Amino acid sequence: MLPSQGRTKKLFFEDKYENKKFMKGVLLPKGHKYELQLVAKKVKMAKGIKDADKTILNVKGKKYAARLERKSKENQRNWV
């Protein structure tokens, strides 16, 4: 049997559960550091992958670009 509500201000069971104020962190969790940085990291990775060939050619130079072009011509089929 529950104590009378007249003498005490304590809430019991369902009343306590229904009237509970949740903390801000429970309602809107901030997330971990890696979760917060994930979107920016994926955008940066996609940009890097898209521009990878240009970056490699800029670092390695014109001779490397000419060699790649020559190799692609050698590997191309020229017979029918």
Q: What's the mean pLDDT in 38-63?
A: 95
d(CA 57, CA 70): 14
- Tell me the pLDDT tens digit for each residue of 53-78: 999 999 999 999 999 999 998 888 87
Calculate the average pLDDT of the chain.
86
Residue 35 confidence (pLDDT): 92
Give the whole-angstrom CA distance, residue 78 versus residue 65: 22
**Looking at the whole model, is its pTM more than 0.75?**
no
Helix, strand or coil for residue 41? helix
Please check the confidence at residue 2 and state whether its pLDDT lies above 70: no
Of the two residues 35 and 4, the one the predictor is more confident about is: 35
C-beta of residue 57 within 8 angstroms of C-beta of residue 65: yes
